[in-house]
């Protein structure tokens, strides 16, 4: 049985891997890159849905027990005192489920201006010009504009889908469970950001080393055709740069950072 769990989610290329690399330094915390738990929960929910011929044998209590069992089974080998940080961008689309299964859990969402996310994806593509990326179905795309349109598709896009579910969570009834961490703030002042995160989680602070990070997933990244996608720099620092995408494309998404607008924070979501 899992005693304590929180979730890392939010937008891609916005610091979630860096956050996991920082947190895993704490011996009481288990944190890593994307886990399959969200997918496994989806498969389980479909299997016990009303379309199943055994639907009469599933009530809400049994469904809840089965779904909780997915988490316990996946993390069965961790010590009972571990604080689990499970990472998946899909969690913001499952806020009600997480609130039901783990009422005390928080969903930590790393965010970043969308233009810089698209720019970051383009930079990764430029670093691997001989490969086709799984982000685009391993297919050739004509230009940065068509790639941006693909990324921003609200149903299937790497960025658009997660942006939509994050916005849904932000305005939804479980918004109080969210903790938003802005990439620029984390990169510029990691010590204060992590201290505030521990406070919001009700955990004792830990003296992290922000100049000795170590986290990479070469096999996972190779499978996506994007070597280095989840490799974090050793030092946490903000590195200013010039965008490599056209200015008009960057400007197109300049107004999408709803977390930076106090007038839209209707449910007083915690923003770091």
Q: pLDDT, tens digit, for every residue of 182-199?
A: 999 999 999 999 999 999
| Look-up of token digits 């505030």 | 196
**All domains in the chain, ordered by first residue:** 5-271 (3.40.50.300)
- Asked whether residue 52 carries a pLDDT value surpassing 60, the answer given is yes
Q: Out of 217-221, 222-226, 266-270, give the one with best mean pLDDT.
A: 266-270
CA distances from 127 to 104, 124, 152, 243 (A): 41, 5, 21, 15
Would the pLDDT of 217 be above 80? no
Q: Which of 171-175, 231-235, 240-244 has the lowest mean pLDDT?
A: 231-235
Q: CA–CA separation, 70 vs 37, rounded Å? A: 8
What count of other Cβ atoms lies within 10 Å of the Cβ of residue 150? 18
- Lowest mean per-residue pLDDT among 10-19, 109-118, 211-220: 211-220
Q: For residues 224-232, give the mean pLDDT.
A: 58
pLDDT score, position 228? 53
Label residue 142 by pLDDT band (50, 70, 90).
confident
Average pLDDT over every residue of 195-206: 97
Rounded Cα distance, 261 and 211, in Å: 32
* Three-state secondary structure call for residue 233: coil
Whether the predicted pLDDT of 226 surpasses 80: no
- On the question of pLDDT at 8 being above 80, the answer is yes
Radius of gyration of the chain measured on its C-alpha atoms:
19
Q: Residue 31 is inside which H or E element, if any?
A: strand 29-31
CB atoms within 10 A of CB 45: 15
* Structural tokens at position 141: 């795309």
Give exposure, 201-238, as e/b (b: 16+ Cβ within 10 Å). beeeeeebebeebebbbeeebeebbbeebbebeeebee
């Amino acid at each position: 049985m899992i005693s304590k769990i929180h979730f890392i989610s939010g937008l891609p290329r916005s610091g979630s891997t860096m956050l996991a690399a920082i947190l895993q330094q704490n011996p009481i915390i288990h944190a890593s890159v994307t886990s399959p738990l969200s997918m496994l929960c989806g498969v389980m929910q479909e299997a016990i849905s009303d379309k199943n011929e055994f639907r009469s044998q599933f009530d809400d209590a049994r469904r809840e027990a089965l779904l909780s069992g997915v988490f316990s089974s996946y993390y069965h080998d961790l010590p009972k005192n571990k604080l689990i940080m499970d990472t998946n961008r899909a969690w913001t689309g499952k806020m009600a489920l997480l609130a039901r299964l783990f009422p005390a859990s928080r969903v930590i969402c790393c965010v970043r201006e969308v233009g810089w996310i698209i720019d970051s994806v383009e930079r990764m593509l430029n670093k691997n010009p001989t490969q086709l990326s799984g982000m685009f179905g391993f297919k050739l795309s004509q230009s940065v504009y068509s790639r941006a349109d693909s990324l921003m598709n609200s149903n299937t896009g790497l960025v658009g889908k997660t942006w939509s579910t994050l916005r849904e969570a932000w305005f939804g009834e479980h918004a109080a469970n969210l903790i938003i961490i802005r990439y620029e703030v984390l990169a510029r002042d990691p010590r204060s950001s992590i201290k505030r995160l521990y406070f919001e989680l009700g955990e004792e602070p830990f003296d992290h080393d922000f100049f000795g990070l170590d986290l990479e997933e070469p096999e996972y990244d190779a499978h996506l055709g994007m070597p280095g996608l989840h490799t974090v720099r050793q030092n946490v620092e903000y590195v200013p740069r010039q965008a490599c995408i056209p200015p008009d494309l960057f400007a197109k998404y300049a107004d999408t950072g709803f977390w930076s607008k106090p007038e839209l924070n209707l449910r007083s979501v915690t923003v770091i």
